[in-house]
Amino acid sequence: MPFVSSKFLIYKSLTDNRRGQIMILASMALGGALLGISALAGLLMTYQIRQTTDLTNSTKSIMAADSGVEWGLYQYFHPSSPPIGCPSSNCDSSGGYNLGPYADGASVVVTCYGLDPSNGTEQQQLNCSNASSVQAVGEANFASRSFRTYFQVFAPPQ
């Protein structure tokens, strides 16, 4: 049997005990990466599920905005003062006509805009009878959808 020094045996026993450290560190790093990826995927899935369940409120707000545009079109073609179909308590047109709430809980704000002849920009108007556009913003819970209709006046044919 060859002669082996006691220092070599002590060194060899210390390095043999450390061989599993790299495997443990690699396993922990891989586990941490998988945990982070799983947490991120779970968060993204939560956002997608929340967006899917809010489809009902989105539909309510779209229907409210559509009815608001129709109300604005009616006011454009059949002007009256005060506007027909506007509840008296919500009929101040300072920030638009607030129609609703509807039976499903949705509400809509209708705003009429007209062209300023001096500079050609759109300004908010008090009535829709001479508007250049009508904007309706429907809201249901936290879902908000908006429609806007533009009018273009053509000269009658000669």
Give the domain ranges of the chain: 22-53, 57-150
| pTM of the shown model | 0.61
Q: pLDDT tens digit string along 88-105?
A: 555 655 567 888 788 888
Q: b/e map of 98-133 (b: 16 or more CB within 10 Å)?
A: bbbeeeeebbbbbbbbbbeeeeeeeeebebbbebbb
Chain segment 47-99, per-residue pLDDT in tens:
888 777 788 888 999 999 999 999 888 888 887 766 666 655 556 555 678 88
